[in-house]
Structure 1
């Protein structure tokens, strides 16, 4: 009888930790998903699917320090899967771009140019740019999430920035 109570207590504790993880990161998850699909409803769907995937495999996490990295990785993979499944459908929520600090036509033009340049990148390049500049993550964090050496992330980042600079100049 005591074993059953301990098991219920353990399950409740794990659920509480999972809910806390989701609540702490929900805005960040949404921003990352949105930066991939540029549509409010699709981003919310991706976050919801990612949370579900994380919930059903949460018991596999052994070290709490990797929870955020693990959750972000699930979200990125879900975002990429969504894009690949819906490649033919392109939708942009213009209110997001318009509300990105300032509303002058010059700012809007610059934002659209940056968005177009991002759209030309590979998924790996886009992921690194989004995590570095939109989510302000360190290169080490990005390397952990993508399961790549820091040197690879750094090289990809600088090459991508160089490519984007060329694109933006044209």
Structure 2
């Protein structure tokens, strides 16, 4: 019995450290879905609670990244489905934050990304905003690697069409 408790404690400690080290990434993902600071924080908090309650299901602590991103993305999608407040609004952009970037291009990209179907948007966000490998995205979404590659290719094609218009 002590061995099982020790394993759970190790998982919990690893999970807590992972959350602390990557909290900004989690917030960015949630924010991309809801476009609201408070709602994004709520999603991250709810995801952490879900993760802690399901820590026993994590078989290998080396797989914590795709495991938690799955929880975070599913929580974000559920929140957007259930939320009456959710509307797609282009965020207020501070010129101080984007000194080296073309603001109009950022707005166009964000609007185009918001217009993508959820499965395409998620793949693009994980690949390019979170710098995840295709194999990790496949684990996170519980999809075949070729499916992820196809969705990514299709999403980029749709984004190009959207931005060119």
* TM over 0.5, shorter chain: yes
> Please, which of 132, 139, 145 is the counterpart of residue 137 of structure 1?
132
CA-based RMSD of the aligned residues comes to: 2.4
> Please, which of 21, 29, 49 is the counterpart of residue 26 of structure 2?
29
1:67 — aligned with what? 64
Q: Does 1:79 align with 2:66?
A: no
Question: How many angstroms does 1:114 deviate by?
Answer: 0.9
From the CA coordinates, give the structure whose radius of gyration is larger. 1
Question: How many angstroms does 1:48 deviate by?
Answer: 0.1
Task: State how many pairs are aligned.
Answer: 165
> Please, which of 144, 160, 167 is the counterpart of residue 155 of structure 2?
160
Question: How many angstroms does 1:94 deviate by?
Answer: 3.0
5 Å matches for 1:5-154? 12-86=9-83, 89-90=86-87, 92=89, 94-95=91-92, 98=95, 101-102=98-99, 107-154=102-149
TM-score, structure 1 normalization:
0.85
Q: Is the 8 A contact 1:97 1:108 kept in 2?
A: no
Bigger mean CA offset, 72-81 vs 31-40: 31-40
CA distance in 2, matches of 1:166, 1:120: 12
CA distance in 2, matches of 1:139, 1:129: 10
Unpaired runs of 5+ in structure 1?
none
TM-score, structure 2 normalization:
0.87
